[in-house]
Structure 1
């Protein structure tokens, strides 16, 4: 009996026919259930994560709702002893540019003995002027001296004989006085002739053009055969001692900070060599039009320092204590010069400053900073006041 019931149920199941539409509905239902379960599971996991991190604080580099803050490099400049350097440019020139001309009446140049660039000593002959006429005059005057001396000897002999005869009564006292006067006149003529010869020889000596002092010959403007005179101007130019200088023009405010003896560095244009010098003169007057004056920097002789050239000058005028920033940290707009600093809560702040000077090491801040602030090193122009950032300490570029 039981056997037959089981067999009937199996036969009944075998007789059930399931069509394709029913199978498709079942597959869609099963897929929808799986998707719903997956969505619910994902929502549960997200809720657990949100609830688990909601009570924690944001990381230092994150803002609200997990937003990452931009990182900026900052420096703390402090205060440094900075040399007060005044920079300028100027023309190179001889410290003592001495023109040498014809001291006498002149004549025709016979020989020129020096060339530009040569060193000469004091009194050295630079050029020789024809002196044949003056030499003949000197010979004539020398002969006149001999004639005058012969007349003097004769007058002296006659006076001596007269003095021997006056005691015997052969010569009167009046005759003796006349002979003495004749002797004195002959002696005076000798002196006059000697003075004329001395003057002529002095004129001959002045015909030679000589260096008034030792130094370097800068220029020559005379040739053999040229006729020169007192109105011919300078035949040579000599730099006394070979010393050169730079005449730097500076504003009135910078001149007030200078004094003689302060060191300076001179760099000729087109050269990378530097030459040490000192300020030897500060202009006592100011040009009323430009409000500038001259500082004259003495430089020892060097062949690279040529008068008429151009040079850059850096003069050290004391020192100051102030913050020093790289140029990238200092910004300028229509309202003035400023820097960006990082204030409390890492918020960006704008700070107005006054620049003292610009050196090779950086920019000197005269006012606006005490040196303890965190200053944005670069890209400060892309930050806005009040914006929060993530500061990162950097080594100041000015100290590198």
Structure 2
């Protein structure tokens, strides 16, 4: 078998390699990868006002400790602990029998006093008739007059004792003074209680619920100066008051200011302010730490974007935007307040622009992408399909 020279073999290898490279450079033979897919959000604006947040605490709009006003044994407890009661509902009953007996005695004493007063008045009248004829001395007439006055006083005293007995009997039934929620009872049936005992239970009204917070004295003075020019028709300050609950959700009801203290607390240099919020479902309980958000009703349009779309570098906050050629651009933005899962953009973005909210790790400035538009739940930040694409 003939042997080819080594030089011919080397040349053959170079030719084969060149052909392979040429085939790789042929666009028809290459496999091109598609542009990366990202999820985009179309920026929208909404009216946003100046605002401020305060650490606040909730309290009941009405609260009362239910106490025993007479001594006796608890015979009934007519409520469910932690439940709702209505005004006038019987809550506790203290054994009424001793007080019923005392009431009957007081009635009998009053009847006896009235009988004595009637007799004394009759004796005095006869004495007045007999005195001019000389049948009774002036001294005896004076005694009859004194007896009449004394029996009248006895009637008044007996009447007072009767009213006291009626009150004491009424105190054996402890009723709810207003609608509200009642807590745990501290005494059981059969326990002897009295005026010196601890409260039997606590009743609270939580609709509306009060929210207490503090305002610095300088801010409060400015607020008073501007109040006359910034009030609505009802005389209330032109503010929208809302609450952020401990689970970071915004409460669904708006509140209003209803009290400002008449003096400054000199120890901290602030004034106590109170707002009230409707609480028909009893969602807010007294004692919660909440965030009170006060926002001016004088609002201006500002873009809102999902917080998850904002990134930060040495230059500050930025987002990835999509231009008309479906290319990614890095846009520096100035951020304002956060509202739920959204973030107010003070500058850098306009309504209608599209920003990347998913797939951020797959893209960089200048590359072309395939965009899928979706929306975002403003409270939870969950990415959702557009209504027409579901």
Gapped regions of structure 1 (runs ≥ 5): 1-19, 26-30, 46-66
Pairing 1:367–2:331 present:
no
Query: Is 1:330 aligned with 2:295?
Result: no
Partner of 2:162: 197
CA distance in 2, matches of 1:293, 1:335: 41
DSSP 3-state at the match of 2:177: coil
By how many angstroms is 1:263 displaced?
7.8
State the 1:237 CA deviation.
2.8
Per-residue CA shift, 1:272-305, capped at 9, x if unaligned? 9x9843425588599969xx99865432136xx4
In 2, Cα distance between equivalents of 1:250 and 1:69: 58
Q: CA–CA distance in 2 between the matches of 1:199 and 1:123?
A: 22
The 3-state SS of whatever aligns with 1:158 is helix
From 160, 173, 181, the counterpart of 2:125: 160
> Is the helix fraction higher in 1 or 2?
1
Q: How far has the Cα of 1:167 moved from its partner?
A: 3.5
Q: Work out which of the residue numbers 69, 75, 94 in structure 2 matches 1:129.
A: 94
1:96 maps to 62
Q: Indicate the structure (1 or 2) with the bigger Cα radius of gyration.
A: 1
> 1:100 offset after TM fit, Å?
1.4
**Unaligned stretches of 5+ residues in structure 2:** 23-31, 224-235, 378-385
Question: Which residue of 140, 143, 148 corresponds with 2:108?
Answer: 143
Residue 243 of structure 1 corresponds to 207
Q: Indicate whether 1:277 and 2:257 are aligned.
A: no
Is the partner of 1:277 in helix, strand or coil? coil
- 1:266–1:275 contact (8 Å) kept in structure 2: yes
Is 1:188 aligned to residue 153 of structure 2?
Answer: yes
**How far 1:226 sits from its partner (Å)?**
0.5
Q: Distance in 1 between matches of 2:102 and 2:330?
A: 95
Q: TM-score, normalising length from structure 1?
A: 0.60
Counterparts of 2:63 and 2:293, CA distance in 1: 24
Matched, 1:354 2:330: no
Moved more, 200-209 or 366-375: 366-375
The answer as to whether partners of 1:260 and 1:278 remain within 8 angstroms in 2 is no
Deviation at 1:201, TM superposition (A): 2.1
2:175 to 189, 194, 210: 210
Contact 1:116 1:219 in 2 (8 A): yes
Instruction: Quote the offset at 1:341 in angstroms.
Output: 5.0
RMSD of aligned alpha carbons: 5.6
Q: Distance in 1 between matches of 2:314 and 2:214?
A: 28
Total equivalences in the alignment: 340
Query: Whole-Å Cα distance in 1 between the matches of residues 281 and 329 of structure 2?
Result: 55
| Structure with greater proportional strand content | 2
Contact 1:348 1:383 in 2 (8 A): no
> TM-score, with normalisation over the residues of structure 2?
0.62
Distance in 1 separating the partners of 2:312 and 2:289: 30
Q: Deviations over 1:18-62 (max 9, x none)?
A: xx99xx99xxxxx99xx9xx99xx9xx9xxxxxxxxxxxxxxxxx
Distance 1:93 1:71, change over 3 A: same
